[in-house]
Amino acid sequence: MDRNKVVKEVRDWIIALGVAIIAALLIRTFLFAPVLVDGQSMMPTLHDQNRMIVNKIGYIVGEPKRGDIVVFHATQDRDYIKRVIGLPGDTIEYKDDVLFINGKEVKEPYLDKYKSQIDEGTLTDNFSLEALHGMKKIPKGEYWLMGDNRRFSQDSRHLGPIKRDKILGKTSLVFWPLNEFRIAD
């Protein structure tokens, strides 16, 4: 084989590999990324060790909506997966396992199955935004996030409202394990 052809072939492979690596990094950084559910705070909606895809681009053109399942930076080296409950400007209160936003009852159908499995007590303890964090409303640019497994979730009740710039993106596609492949809502 001609030496020039070999050099050209190697160079072409290196360029193709470099383009593929750069494209993968750009996609993972700005568009989509895999995430691992670590713990049981989103049970029964999500299970420990589920693998999901985070859609990062959706919130570049829009804002989080009530009910979205999102990934956010909880600490410098740890991301959490929780559900958006309250939006900027909302008041939040729980009474007798019922969510009230701005004084109006809000249904949470994603909790119905879990509530029916509880032997005694409530899934979510009574609280108000003011009693927990001394604020009447969720501040502008911040969101109230909670896990579906309210008894065992480290969420806005403990962390306070989450700043918008800490939210990485929305997640709903469970891709692993394969027998649990689905859209979570």
Give pLDDT tens digits for 134-167.
889 999 999 999 998 888 888 999 889 999 999 9
Do 16 and 46 lie in a common domain? no
Do 145 and 173 lie in a common domain? yes
**Catalytic (active site) residue 41:** yes
What domain count does the chain have?
Answer: 2
Q: Can you tell me which residue has the tokens 């997966």?
A: 81
CA angle 102, 163, 165 (to 5 degrees): 135
What pTM, to 2 d.p., does this model score?
A: 0.80
Question: Which residues span the domain enclosing 44?
Answer: 32-183
pLDDT tens-place string over residues 25-49: 766 655 667 777 788 888 888 888 8
**Catalytic (active site) residue 115:** no
- Span 98-117, mean pLDDT? 87
For residue 93, pLDDT over 70 is answered with yes
The catalytically annotated residue of 5, 8, 56, 82 is 82
The catalytically annotated residue of 5, 8, 41, 107 is 41
